Structure 1
Amino acid sequence: MRTEDLRYLQLLDRLRYGQCNYDDYELLQTRAVGQPSIESLHDSPWNKAPILVFRNEIRTQINNKAAIHNATQIGHPLMIRNEKKSNQKTILSIKRTALPLVPAYCITTHKSQGQTLSKVVIDLKLPNETDDIAAVYVPLSRVKRLVDLAIIRPFDNKVLLMKPSKSQVTEMERLDQLFLNTRSRFPEWFQ
């Protein structure tokens, strides 16, 4: 199990089924930026934590701005090209050597699935059309402890009450049964 914080683990278990209560909401609100626990994202360790977002466009914008900011901070020259569309059939031959690095100041929630992150910054104010519990559960469950989580801004309690689909419930029940079968078959692994 990834989560080490018992109260946080219980919150995540309730979240999976859309059964969070107001205490869960208040607990998560303590992790919002501006609260005494997280005064600013400019301070360490939050200024080094990846930001999880739902959309690729937002991820790209944040990564570009962070790369430009960091390059100017260290005095590195920037090369930014804005390609304009043209109907000309000019053929160019360009040769260069570069490393295909993509800074990961920000990653999508989808990309973060399966990862355990030491610190993470998330936004729980979901796009209007989002009604999938995974959009909330995945970013919240990337860290082992609640103290390793920062929430960019206050959010609506409704995001903690989204119910899983029937197929998600069926899959969770299947996985729970698989866990019970494994534990009874190999009890020495669970001591």
Structure 2
Amino acid sequence: MTVKEYGQFCGLARAMEVVGERWTLLIVRDLLLGPKRYTDLRNGLPNIPTNILAARLRRLEAHGVAVRRALPHPDRGVVYELTDHGRRLQPALTALGRWGARTMTEPRPGEITTTESRALSFHTAFRPEAAAGATLGYEIRMADVTFALSVAGDRLTVAHGPHPDPDLVIETRSGHPVLDLMRATLTPAEALAARSIAVEGPESLLTRFTEIFRL
């Protein structure tokens, strides 16, 4: 496999040789949520050509960023997952996502929002220093997907589906209120007054949410 080299003895140059090509970091983003079949990755990145996806996965495998693993019985098939080396990219992706989110307003024509990108947005917005000492569970219900957020001090876990024991349920009713809350363009009081969200649980935990999750 030919590696495009920058000719510089630099850590950033080395990193760009591995993950700097188009689509690669978005593949890593989706794998940070857990193992994925090839079809899962294809569905999560609907605009990627299949030959490019296959090539990027081969490159990630060749550099020890991802591996293929056969699913045990009774499941069938193969999944791709990040190695420990690959998972160390998460802080870099989080920082890049936070930097990029500051320029976002409304989706551009033709842009979509995937389940994976929404899940990673919570990691991007998570402020460990604000969550210090907290043990909280949030269930975020959107029109087509539900997320379970579990905060344990400076650690965050994001899963698809309902939270088993949420301290607060946030249900979106219109617009993008969760993103607006995290970007501080909407206050909890304004969101509740406009009925763009509904909550189940103490409203004070909605304010706590905006402290812990801030872009």
Q: Same fold (TM over 0.5)?
A: no
Determine which structure has more spread, i.e. the larger CA radius of gyration.
1
Q: Normalising to structure 2: TM-score of the pair? A: 0.20
Q: Normalising to structure 1: TM-score of the pair? A: 0.22
Relative to total residues, which structure has the larger strand share, 1 or 2? 2
